[in-house]
Amino acid sequence: MKTILVVGASRGIGLAIAQHLVGQGFRVIGTVRSESAGAPLLAAGITPLVLDVTDHAAVAELPEHVDHLDGLVYNAGLSVAGPVELLDIGRAQAEVDVNYVGAAAVTKALLPLLRARRGHIVYVTSVNGTAPVNFYASYSASKFALEGFAEALAMELEGTGVKVSVIEPGICNTDMLPQDIAVLEAKKEQAPDYLVPQLEDTINAIKVLKPNDPQVVAHAVAKVLQQSRPRFRVVAPRVPYAVMTVGHRLLPLAGYRRLVALSTPKRKTPH
């Protein structure tokens, strides 16, 4: 039975991934931030492992807790929403520490085990890791960093048998959504006038756009793990988010900004 470590498995997308992989016949170890958070995982047949990805000493000891490893799914993440002019730099640093530096540290610690089994590394990034939108500048920066890291790592590992993939989710129905809305609402009250209409449109868009079930991402992760020649980059779901990622690659900045504007539902103005 193949063993997969899912980092950031206590809730949301990570929990959906871990549960789905168990259902697909994998032995799954899922990291959580506390002992109490591990109970739901045990009930689902997942082995919980307490880990803070920003504790580099603890991350370096990961190989002592895993006898062999066929796959690593790095899903741990923070979302810091809001305009740059009101950015909390401390929160931005924490975001980078979890979304990128934590991924690099975990990967470094586990690469020897993954090479021994010719395993597979899957990073759960974001559509915003290749196609940024306003008010998620810090989040996009952290995910861009992870995407670049993954691409470079894939080149380094050519010839070792270790595969690397990135899964780019769109908006998902997790507890991050209401948190982001609350943050953006609060930022709107503090924002300079020039930002208020944009903030109102963004808040409205998040509220009216139908979020995806985390199972969409879980199925995408399982699919690449089961393929002998998986794609490097997978948008989950492809529709409608692939339009943004392709548009960002092909269009000039002004064209991409127009595409984002057209894709953002506008507030209804009173007659």
Residues noted as catalytic: 139
Query: Which two structure tokens, joined as six digits, stand for 70?
Result: 């066929």
CA 166, CA 124: separation in Å to the nearest integer? 6
Q: Read off φ and ψ for residue 73, nearest 5 degrees.
A: -115, 110
> What are the start-end ranges of the H helices in 97-175?
102-116, 137-156
> In whole angstroms, what is the distance from residue 131 CA to residue 140 CA?
8
The rounded radius of gyration (Å) of the Cα atoms in the chain is 19
Instruction: Tell me how long the chain is.
Output: 271
DSSP 130: T
